[in-house]
Structure 1
């Protein structure tokens, strides 16, 4: 099964809040990635999901490390696997079922992320 991870990313120069969450979904040799304000919680209000460039799969493993290019510090805080298929188009809606630290249906649609009961 493909994997997912959430990273706490601090000190990114383009982040006015100083801390955000990177949501990574394994997609072949890289991970599709979105910036979230907080860790998604079951059935809470949808939050903005900003697409980011693909991240390296090494971030799916437990780690804490400096981000390349002097872009702050990241730490993996949640992880697991997902079922379902990522659409080929990177701007298409995503619906996947997460298993692991977070469980539920993850939906990314119209620039928003939402986690609901399975």
Structure 2
């Protein structure tokens, strides 16, 4: 089952706020990644999601480490598994179910935005 992680990334030289979050979704032998301004939470409005270069799988495990190339520090704050497939077209919408961990819910990434909605049953009804 594929994994996800949310990293708190501080000290990145290209981040004027000083702190952002990297959302990672396992995709074979690498992770697709997006920069978020805040930690996603069920019930919050959509936020900007900027797709990043692929990340290494090692970031899916709980860890805290310096980011290569002097790009700050990253600390894993949420980890778990997801159900669903990532489309091969980088522009296609992504809809996956985060099954466990701090971010459990229906994750939507589309048009440069990210939103986390409450879990749904297999029939599409709210629990």
The two structures have a TM-score, normalised by structure 1, of 0.98
3-state SS of paired residue (2:17): coil
Cα offset, 1:64, TM superposition: 0.5
| Corresponding pairs, count | 118
Q: Which residue of 2 aligns with 1:62?
A: 62
Cα offset, 1:12, TM superposition: 0.3
Give the root-mean-square deviation of aligned CA atoms. Answer: 0.6
* Structure 2: runs of 5+ lacking an equivalent: 120-127
Query: Which 4+ residue blocks in structure 1 deviate beyond 4 angstroms?
Result: none
Cα offset, 1:91, TM superposition: 1.9
Partner Cα separation in structure 2 for residue 90 and residue 2 of structure 1: 18
Higher strand proportion: 1
* Structure 1: runs of 5+ lacking an equivalent: none
Q: Does 1:50 align with 2:50?
A: yes
Instruction: Map 1:64-83; keep pairs closer than 5 Å.
Output: 64-83=64-83
Partner Cα separation in structure 2 for residue 92 and residue 33 of structure 1: 14
Structure number, greater radius of gyration: 2
Q: Does 1:111 align with 2:81?
A: no
Q: Which residue of 2 aligns with 1:5?
A: 5
3-state SS of paired residue (2:58): helix
Cα offset, 1:117, TM superposition: 1.2
Q: Which residue of 1 aligns with 2:124?
A: none
The two structures have a TM-score, normalised by structure 2, of 0.91
Cα offset, 1:7, TM superposition: 0.2
